[in-house]
Amino acid sequence: MNTAKDHYDQQLASIYNWMAGSSEASIKRNHDLLRQLGVNSSQGLAIDLGAGSGFQSIPLAELGFSVIAIDFCEALLSELRDRAGNLPIRTIHDHILSFSKYVEEQAQVVVCMGDTLTHLESLDSVQSLLLSVESVLATNGKFILTFRDYVSVEPQGTQRFMPVQSDESTILTCFLEYGEDVVEVYDLIYRKEGDRWVLSTSSYPKLRIDRNWMCDQLQKSEFEVVHNTVINGMICIVAEKL
């Protein structure tokens, strides 16, 4: 069985930015979302867990933060560095569960966005991550989470096939297979090679994380949940450290 890291390294990294549509639009959208969620200009530290190619790290740096951007995919971090230019972003190639060993001062903001949280191996890993975030976050600092809602609705039959992105040479379709604790995500990529289409497939598990369970865990970890909503199928939670 593939891990999330295997799947990104072998299947998704090469098409990640294409899959998201316009990189510039994604950065602008996250810049606006961060402002909407109360992240204002600052000269403090922000930590981006699962930074990818920078859709959150770059807006955070543009808002004035010094950013630690950690991800398990070196190819995406390389794209982040190319895109960031002289912005104050430090990239770390490691698992997000190891992020705290790279932090030497308290952070004003920690973000874990874009469905990164569901890449963890278990709910115990989620709890471990929350404890690490609590340990590095300053009092009144914000912890911002987004993750896809795989709990409240379980698609059936052909509803489990989802078109993601396409152009004249590449087509990406996703298929979901629901288990009790995880969703197995199959990515089917067709690429045009000459006059024929070539298919590559890969899959990996994503955690099914209940929104109410997540809020309960945050409150047990001395956080106050100040924002809890769903935006386009993505759960969005903002918690402040007490």
Give CA–CA dist 116/21, Å, rounded: 18
* Strands 170-178 vs 161-166: parallel, antiparallel or unpaired: antiparallel
End-to-end CA separation in angstroms for the chain:
40
Which ranges of the chain does DSSP label H, i.e. alpha helix? 4-7, 16-19, 23-36, 57-62, 74-84, 123-136, 211-220
CA angle 118–113–91, rounded 5-degree value? 105
Percentage above 70 pLDDT, the chain: 100
**74 and 38 co-located in one domain:** yes
**23 and 90 co-located in one domain:** yes
- The structural domain count of the chain equals 2
- Look-up of token digits 């969703």: 183
88-139 confidence digits (pLDDT tens): 999 999 999 999 999 999 999 999 999 999 999 999 999 999 999 999 999 9
Structure pTM?
Answer: 0.95
**176 and 197 co-located in one domain:** yes
Q: Residue 185: left (phi > 0), alpha (psi -120 to 50), or beta? A: beta
**138 and 171 co-located in one domain:** no
**122 and 16 co-located in one domain:** yes
